[in-house]
Each structure stands twice: as C-alpha cells, then as structure tokens.
Amino acid sequence: MAKVLVVTSGKGGVGKTTTTAALGAALAQAGEKVVVVDFDVGLRNLDLVLGAERRVVFDLINVVQGIAKLPQALIRDKRLENLWLLPASQTKDKDALTEEGVGRVIAELRKTFDWVLCDSPAGIERGAMLAMRYADEAVIVTNPEVSSVRDSDRIIGMLDSKTVRAENGERVEKHILITRYDPARAARGEMLSIDDVLEILATPLLGIVPESQDVLRASNVGCPVTLSNPSSTPARAYSDAMRRLLGEQIEMLVPAEPRGLMRLLRGRRAA
C-alpha cells in the first residue's frame, strides 16, 4: 500500500526540504520505491537539494494541467534508482495548482510508488493546503523555538481538519521531527527543551536532528545528507527517523555535543 506523507511545518526555513530529501533518500536506500514531490511552486528548491536541477523538463504544474504526462515529468535520481523527483515549477505560482488536479497526480503516483513524499511550502495558504490535502501521514518539522512550535501547532490543527482523511473521519498519522537542535544552546537553556516542544504539540516524536554543518554542505552539493555523509550525526538521525516511519522501534537519542569538539570550540574562542 502506497503511503502519502507530507513534510510540513508552517514556518519557513526550519528544514522541510532538507528533511524531504534526506528521508526520501533514506527510504530509497532501505529498498522502498520513493517519489518526492515539490509543492513549493514558484520557489522550488527540492531539485537543488537533490542535485537534479539541470534535468528538469516538465514539472508538477504541467502534469496537473495535463500538458505533460506523469512519466515525462518524473526525474530518476542518478545515485539511487528507487528515488524519483517530481519537481515544482519556478515560473508559475501556487494558484496554478487545483485540488482536483493534485488529487489525480497523487492517485497516479500511489499506483507506482511505495512512498509519496510531499514537500510542503511554508505558510498555510493554497500550496501548503494542497500538499497536505491527500496525506496519510505527516512529518511536522519543528525547530525548538517558540515561533516554530506555535506554527507547527497550527499546522497540526489543519492536518486534523482540512485533509481528505480528516473530512472522512479518519486520522492523519502525525510525527514531530525536531531539526536544527543545538545541544550547546539547549544546555545553556537558550532553546526550548525537547520535553517542552512535545508537551505543547502533544504529538509523538519521530526524531531529533542536530544543527550541523553536514546538512548545509549536503544541500550545497545537491546530495541528501543521508547519502553524502551517512555516518554523520544528522544522517544517522534521519536514518533512524526513516526506520521509525517503517514501524521499527528504535531508541531515541538526544544529540549531545561531542566533548572534544566542545573543547576545541572553547579553545578557539579563547584564542
């Protein structure tokens, strides 16, 4: 059974696209057939993060409008043969998406893939609404900060009311993924604690991804962090999250600052 999973957050810049790419790649590495769909029409980024920006011919809007067939728009990843991308259009805007058209595309993707990962745009407008509309599951990407947590809360409310599943009286299974977690700042009490975030959102935790240079580097070279540096802490966090999505029970590790690095940083500051 295909699963449609929306990666959403409300707030921008929290790591939705990075997460979509990393989880998509991790699922594909685990042998699942995955398509990642960029819903950020007009501000597309997923193609860059996946390093497929130079191979985009047709996009989601073309398929929704019937200009192109779905197989024409799908881009297969060069490194993972199980990973596909349905890019967004950079020239159109989100009004070009129709509920009916998106529904048709999602239904078609369900037939071919095990996982359909929808990368939601920020905000709560049309693009974000349509990205979550047909979802079975949702990963809510949250930074441990009040603004991000409040926006996530709003998005959870919408997942519970505005999705097809909610309207049919079913549940969208929701997971919180805390990203950009900075163990040093958390230790100083400069960020919301994991417990605070979970208490406010009252939703199960899928994983904690630490703030890391590895993530930034991966985005810049157009390779999901789970592929570019599989042994890095964020890659391991994403990979654990992916296995939890597949139903495995894995112990949750709260990232801690490596002692050596701490000393190194302190040393640098002192110097």
- Beta carbons within 10 angstroms of residue 146's beta carbon: 13
Please count the residues of the chain: 271
CB of 174 to another protein, least distance (A): 11
Interacting span for another protein (CB under 8 A) from 76-84, 148-156, 219-227, 252-260: 148-156
Of 23 and 172, the one with the shorter C-beta distance to another protein is 172
**Residue 93 contacts another protein per CB under 8 A:** no
Of 200 and 262, the one with the shorter C-beta distance to another protein is 200
CB of 154 to another protein, least distance (A): 4
Q: Would you give the DSSP letter of residue 121?
A: P
CB of 203 to another protein, least distance (A): 9
Order of strands, sheet of 173-181, starting from the edge strand that comes earlier in the sequence: 75-76, 83-86, 34-38, 115-119, 3-8, 137-142, 173-181, 205-210
- Beta carbons within 10 angstroms of residue 207's beta carbon: 27
CB of 177 to another protein, least distance (A): 18
CA distance 34 to 38: 13
Q: Choose among 150, 155, 197: nearest CA to 172.
A: 155
Which residues within the stretch 199-258 sit at the binding site for another protein (CB under 8 A)?
199-200, 202
Among 12, 13, 31, 157, indicate the residue that binds another protein (CB under 8 A): 157
Burial of 125 (0-12, 13-18, 19+ CB in 10 A): exposed
Q: Which two tokens stand for residue 163?
A: 């999705």
Of 10 and 24, the one with the shorter C-beta distance to another protein is 10
**Residue 162 contacts another protein per CB under 8 A:** no
Of 10 and 207, the one with the shorter C-beta distance to another protein is 10
Among 160, 173, 182, 257, indicate the residue that binds another protein (CB under 8 A): 160
**Residue 151 contacts another protein per CB under 8 A:** yes
Q: Choose among 86, 75, 83: nearest CA to 30.
A: 83
Which residues within the stretch 124-143 sit at the binding site for another protein (CB under 8 A)?
124
Residues making contact with another protein (CB under 8 A): 124, 146, 150-151, 153-154, 156-158, 160, 199-200, 202
